[in-house]
Amino acid sequence: MALAVCIEDATVERGGRVALDRISLTVEPGLLLGVTGPNGSGKTTLLNLINGLLLPVSGHVEVLNEVVTPASSRRLRRRVAYLPQMAPPDPRMPVLVREVVLMGRYGRIGLGRRPGADDYAAASRAMQRVGLAELADRPIGQLSGGEQQRVALARALAQEATILLLDEPTTFLDQSARADLLELIAAIHAEGRLTTLLVSHELDFVRRICKRIVSLEQGRLTTTAEVAA
């Protein structure tokens, strides 16, 4: 079976220092992989390596059977949905929820082309799935933290990607919103068997929903643990 992600001996440097040090990792299609580790251990760098926002200085990275290069990375990002860790947007941000979700389609629509009926339909389905349909015409800055993360998740779903990368999606959320969001992520994965990498500090939950967990420390993979069903 072809791998969704295959990283071999990859080293990544950021700001003149080694952020990932000769790591190797394989991810099978449909896997929900938990990524843990202390701050600064390289978790976000790992996600950025997989979606081509960062390139290795040495080693080999292949995602969805395509070698990640400067030429392929932007094309690849259309098939890899990424939710970066984000602070809440400006409350005055002149963008509606529907428009943020539709942004998930922008890469595949192409430069200078307008969204079509298919794109609007995909965005509506995604909003429906995460329970945001009635908030579609609200300004994004007026939503709660939990609702904004649901919008980000809907954007990723609208992208109809093959891989989903989630970077600390529960940051800035209260306990109740954190639990709701993680349940939603688990449910979406269970429905679509979307290959998912979840970076999170919620260790108990990560252990409960992930089939495998990898730990990073100072840019190195220190632990890979299979979780019993």
**Which residues of the shown chain bind another protein in the complex (CB under 8 A)?**
15, 51, 53, 74-75, 77-78, 81-84, 86, 89-96, 99-100, 102-109, 111-112, 114-115, 139-140, 155, 159
Q: Which tokens sit at 111?
A: 């430069």
Contact partners, residue 125, CB within 8 Å, separation at least 6: 157, 158
Q: How far is the CB of 105 from another protein (least distance, A)?
A: 8
- Closer to another protein by CB, 95 or 203: give it: 95
| Smallest separation, CB 228 to another protein (Å) | 33
Determine the Cα–Cα distance for residues 222 and 104; give it in Å rounded to an integer. Answer: 33
Closer to another protein by CB, 109 or 227: give it: 109
User: b/e per residue, 153-173, with b = 16+ CB within 10 A?
Assistant: bbbbbbbbbbbbbbbbbbebb
Minimum distance between the CB of residue 68 and another protein, rounded to whole angstroms?
Answer: 13
Residue closer to another protein by CB (options 3, 96) is 96
Nearest-approach distance from CB 224 to another protein, in angstroms: 26
- For another protein, the closer CB: 15 or 204: 15
β-sheet bridge partners, residue 66: 63
Sequence-distant (≥ 6) Cβ neighbours of residue 187 within 8 angstroms: none
CB of 129 to another protein, least distance (A): 18
35 or 221, CB closer to another protein?
35
Closest to another protein by CB, 30 or 115: 115
Q: What are phi and psi of 116, to 5 degrees?
A: -105, -175
- Single out the residue of 171, 186, 163, 220 nearest to residue 30, CA to CA: 163
